[in-house]
Chains A and B, each alone.
Chain A
Amino acid sequence: MNARVPVDAPELDFDTPALRRHRRIRALKDRLASGMIGIGGISVIVAVLLICVYLIYEVLPLFERASIRPWQTGQQLSSAYVLADVKGSPLYITTEEQAEIGMEVTDTGEVVFFNAASGKIVQRHALPLPANTHITSFAQPAARGDTFAVGLSDGSALVLRDDYQVTYPNDQRLITPLLSFPFGDTPLQVQSDGQPLNYLALRDSDDALMLVGGHDANLAAVRFDKQTNLLTNEVSLTPTRFSLPQSNHRVQQVLILPGMQWIVAGEENGGLSVFDLRKADKPILSEQLSASKGDITIMTLLLGGQSVLVGDDQGTVSQWFLVRGEKKEWHLQRIRAFSRQGYKVDWIAPEQGRKGFAVAYDDGMVSLYNATAETNSVNRRLFEQSEPLLLGYAPRGNALLTVNSQHQLQLWAVDNEHPEVSWRSLWGKVWYEGYDHPDYIWQSSSAANDFEPKFSLTPLAFGTLKAALYAMLLATPLAICGAIYTAYFMAGGLRRKVKPLIELMEALPTVILGFFAGLFLAPFVEGHLPFIAMALVLIPVGVLLFAFAWAQLPGAIRHRLPEGFDALLLVPLILLLGWLCLSLSEPVELALFGGDARAFLTNQLGIDFDQRNALVVGLAMGFAVIPTIFSITEDAIFGVPRSLTYGSLALGATPWQTLVRVVLPTASPGIFSALMIGLGRAVGETMIVLMATGNTPIMDANIFEGMRTLAANIAVEMPESEVGSSHFRILFLAALVLFAFTFVMNTGAELIRQRLRKKYGSL
């Protein structure tokens, strides 16, 4: 009794206030959700894109130009001032660490300490000059806190030093300057003939003080060996005089290089003379060079004292340092020049913390340069109406004290964060001090204080490409051939098992591959070099011979193996061949290479061998890249419409002909994009290279040597780099380069794949 009883549908009122409210709430919820998802989605995507923006934001300051502005204390802009009651012309100006106190030495024998921003005099000293003498020359300090000297008209020199004491009475910083005479306040005799010292240089080290000075072509050099009395801490000096050969021209400027074994003298008509003092009893004039077509106006040493800067009246500043020639002989080499044609170089002030310097030209222009980067970071006319006289760099490189020919001083703030970085120094060859020739060098830190960091990204980029190349060399054939077989010849059931297994390799953490390469593969390869070589030849040959033999077998046996299972048959064969190579490795090594192939490579062929080398990296990283290439290639080949294959086969082509003539051309964009993505992965891989190479930044394509890649370099150096420093930003630049490279690669691959998809869509 299931007769349906017709029931009148109840009248439903959809317009009750409750339902209307319910609908409003639903609509509101819907709008709210749309808004939230919109905001959420966009912000997530923006956050992801932020990476690129942030990297650029961190890198940009590297390439910003520097600036010089009047110094600012609080709201007060510093302006030009004249030191009250100071007579005489300035010989030297500088400031202390904070750029708060300035110092001026005048040719009337006065040393004045003053507030560098306002010109208020803090202390003034008159130098204790002997009667009837006056100052004739000045020797600059070699580095911050070092001694300097004034040369006198009687052939003697007075050595002095400025020190600053910082105290904090009432939590306010108070800097008290101190002037001292470390070797007593009686001048030391340099020139014994009593003639004035028209030029003077000094160098002060822990155990000796050297002074070189003279007049005209007569140079006198004297070294004072220091002996410290252990009880009184007093220093006694024992002089040694060098009889320097006469220079051919009148000398105008002289400098002593560190180590006190070389003296460089600037002569009239732009010549340079180099004196070799290595044989103390017989100094020689080892070289005479022409530094300028005009006249040398100023010579000074760059930070560290290795480089001589020579400024002339033609507007050129040239950098020179000692280089070891082919015959192991040292000679002074012109390295590079900074030219501003038509103006006279008035003064060069070297920076005290970096290899930079400031140059004042006679038209009032002041330019900041960096020697190694060959950059000119700023030019500004600081002297409007008058000629510049002197410049003094503050020790931190953040301020410049200037004085003009009317003896007006002014303090300038310098904002020059990353002068050592330029496109050229990052990617080009740079001739660093102490090297025989220009080179690409990455060496970011060292124990020494006056060490110059060397930031060439070229060896790192080279290492990256080298590692990627060797990896691709292994991965490309294996992955593509494997993918062809899997997609086209392999039986379906087997394919469904093999593909996930190979794709599992992609998920394998690279740290495991890296550790495997470093701890297992590297020693294995080192001990079994003949194995690698033999396996490369024997395995393909063995496979072919086996296949040919297989083809000769009667069909009854052959057909027992289902079609598409050949690969499984080859697994035991390859294992067997591998074992054969392995057991032959030792005898072959004994027979051909005297039992040690590694030693044979190094000694007989002259090929350097590192245990953790590019071969190991290639093997391990190839392993990491294979699944990436395999998977995409396989998809591309498998995606080729079956109708194409069947058509070709029906026309009588063999499977292989069909593959080569029909399938591969159709799938080729997909294969190409697989290679691009694989290369992108190899380039950015970090852990494998970090663990499987020695991480030495060398440029050598030798497969048996290591490398350092951009990614590994970041991993090694980032944690210890100072935030905001040039090093930090350059590491960001390296990350940006990696980012850009992989992004371009992947985008290209994606576009190709999309085109491919469109093409198949029409088939």
Chain B
Amino acid sequence: MRISWKQWSQSGAPWVWINAGAVAISLIMVLGLLGVIAVRGLGHFWPAAVMQADYLNEAGQLESLIGEPVSTELVPAARLRDAGVPLNTDKSEVSRTLLKTGNRDLFGGDFRWVISDHLQQVRYPSLLMTLERREWGNFYGVPRQLLEGDKPVASFTGTDSNPQNEQSWQLLQQHIERSLAIHHEIVQIEKVEIGAINAQIERLRLQQRSLQLQGEASPAALAEIDVERDQAQRAYQQLQDKLTRLYQQANRDTLVVEAANGKQLNIALDKIVRAYRPNAMHLGQKISFYASKLWEFLSAEPREANTEGGIYPAIFGTVMMVILMTLFVTPCGVIAAVYMREYARQGLLTRILRIAVNNLAGVPSIVYGVFGLGFFVYFLGGSIDQLFFRAALPSPTFGTPGLLWASLTLALLTLPVVIVATEEGLSRIPRSVREGSLALGATKWETLWRVVLPMASPAMMTGVILAVARAAGEVAPLMLVGVVKLAPSLPVDGNFPYVHLDQKFMHLGFHIYDVGFQSPNVEAARPLVYATALLLVIVIALLNFAAVSIRNHLREKYRALEI
């Protein structure tokens, strides 16, 4: 049946379709955002092929280039001509490729835009390797020789694989493993053992200072401290000697490599994190490489001003902060909800309170940050320092942003979430259940403890999960009360008192902000930011789905009770 435009539009159908369009757009936006983040975040760990080509550069000369193609875009030719790039086409638009050329120590930058048409003889020789280094970013090029001290132990020829190259490559991998083992040992000593001694020396200093402050600095006590300090110093000296030996061992091997422009340079093996030849990998190797990169991302410390390596400290800091926050927010939220629902007289006052608590959930998070900074950090923390940490003054212990204050601030921020969820759970429990318990002679407290709270526990769980999800993603208040871009150590370690509530910590959300916007090398860090964002999204989505399913489950359960 055909209908005319007039009829159709009078039926209101166009409006319905427009509304349907709005839903469709919203869905596309959500899925598109998640999709872009997922693709960009997950793609980062895949070993990208390394390209070699001859490039007719801006000066009109042919030069050899090695690098990973990152992206391609079309630009108007006029704009490039204006910028002084000579073009040998008459097309109005040309395509250009962003090439990650690495070798920042040689070229000054990691990336380079090249005109795609000017690339000649694009090839993927299998000996091309990517070196992930501890400093200066990636190196792209071919290996030439492996040196043990001054003695060559392996050499490479040409740019493609041959038996000799394969053998040398195996040897190189073995040497890299050796140097990684030594490096691991060095880090262990520097971070853990020397860290412990430093903590001890600092504790002795504080002890001495507090004795002086109390006027009890007798020569005997001071001598005792001096003896201990001497011991620590000696232990430190021993470790230092050991370190020197290890460093000598680590410095033994060198790899001679050749960059794109034919220049050879020596790279010490202890500066290398990983060496791989993406062009020579088959699918299985690529997958296992992918897994190892992913594991590194989750479990390693960041390198190079957070632009490379892993995000383990940020994950740890986030989890730590969220756990502490849960410890604060759960009892407070539940008690407040129980009070408002079960004990307080229901009247105008409770209604006002309820509205107020509800509204606090809508107060901008930065306001909580301001409050946390002023009240917790400067007021409470300052007072605590005056009372208990006089010896450390003027450098503040708790009078500065830190883990404790961050978790308290976020506990305050998420308190309304827990209160509202718990209250809802309490209100869903039928009166008959309470009355039954009371009729059997239970006191109010017994009813609450044995009957009401267990029944409301899924609702509390929902509230806590939602609170955790919110806290894990909140960044603005944390910027004021405790996160840093790079924490020298984790807030939990082997030194007394083991959990350092006064320390600053790293946080996934802040990591995204910092690396994406404050980093000196944003372009190189971008894939890492996408990966971090993806991780955060997954964690929060999982938490939310858990909360939603618990809530739905709960609703079903009590619907049966109400009948």
Contact = CB atoms under 8 A, between A and B. Distances in A.
A662 interface: no
Contacts of B473: 507-512
A47 B512 contact: no
Given A48-B357, A48-B360, A516-B37, A656 B15 contact: yes
A416 interface: no
B363 interface: yes
Interface stretch (B107-115, B292-300, B533-541): B533-541
Interface string A739-758: 10011011100110000000
Contacts of B366: 684, 686, 711, 714-715, 735, 738
6 contacts: A507-B466, A551-B3, A552-B2, A567-B23, A623-B29, A750-B359
Contacts of B339: 37-38, 40-42, 44-45
Nearest to B507: A511
Interface residues of B, number: 103
Contacts of A484: 19
A739 B371 CA distance: 11
Contacts of A519: 516, 522, 526, 529
Interface string A39-63: 0111011011111001100100000
Nearest to A570: B24
Contacts of A415: none
A742 B364 contact: yes
B19 A48 contact: no
Interface in A12-48: 26-27, 29-30, 32-34, 37-38, 40-42, 44-45, 47-48
B405 to A, nearest CB: 13
B21 A514 contact: no
A473 interface: no
Interface stretch (B150-158, B243-251, B475-483): B475-483
Contact of B27 (A26, A498, A512, A686): A498
Given A482-B23, A500-B548, A520-B36, A515 B3 contact: no
A745 B18 CA distance: 29
Interface of B: 1-3, 5, 8, 11-30, 33, 36-37, 73-74, 76, 78-79, 92-93, 332-333, 335-336, 338-340, 342-344, 353, 355-360, 362-371, 373-375, 378, 412, 415-416, 443-446, 448-449, 466, 469-470, 472-476, 479-480, 509-510, 512-513, 516-517, 522, 526, 529, 533, 536-537, 540-541, 543-545, 548
Interface stretch (A80-88, A219-227, A338-346, A590-598): A590-598
Contacts of B28: 571, 574-575, 578
A422 to B, nearest CB: 22
A498 B26 CA distance: 10
Given A515-B517, A571-B28, A586 B13 contact: no
Contact of A515 (B472, B512, B543): B512
A595 B79 contact: yes
A677 B529 CA distance: 31
A101 B13 CA distance: 87
A363 to B, nearest CB: 43
A501 interface: yes
A42 B339 CA distance: 8
A481 B529 contact: no
A509 B355 contact: no
Contacts of B33: 508, 513, 516, 623
Nearest to B364: A684
B332 A570 contact: no
A419 B445 CA distance: 56
A33 B16 contact: no
B358 A596 contact: no
Interface stretch (A198-206, A250-258, A290-298, A539-547): A539-547
Contacts of A623: 29, 33
A49 B352 CA distance: 12
Interface residues of A, number: 115
B25 A574 contact: yes
Interface stretch (A1-9, A180-188, A208-216, A485-493): A485-493
A525 interface: no
A501 B27 contact: yes
Question: Which of B14, B366, B373, B517 gathers the greatest number of chain A CB atoms within 10 Å?
Answer: B366
B21 to A, nearest CB: 4
Contacts of B358: 746, 750
A74 interface: no
Contacts of A586: 74, 93
B280 to A, nearest CB: 33
Nearest to B5: A548
A715 B373 CA distance: 11
Question: Which of A501, A548, A573, A654 gathers the greatest number of chain B CB atoms within 10 Å?
Answer: A548
Nearest to A494: B23
Nearest to B415: A48
Given A511-B475, A516-B36, A590 B76 contact: yes
Contacts of B517: 515, 518, 691
B291 to A, nearest CB: 25
A197 B69 CA distance: 80
Nearest to B74: A586
Contacts of A514: 513
A570 B26 CA distance: 12
Contacts of B448: 33
Contact of B92 (A544, A595, A677): A595
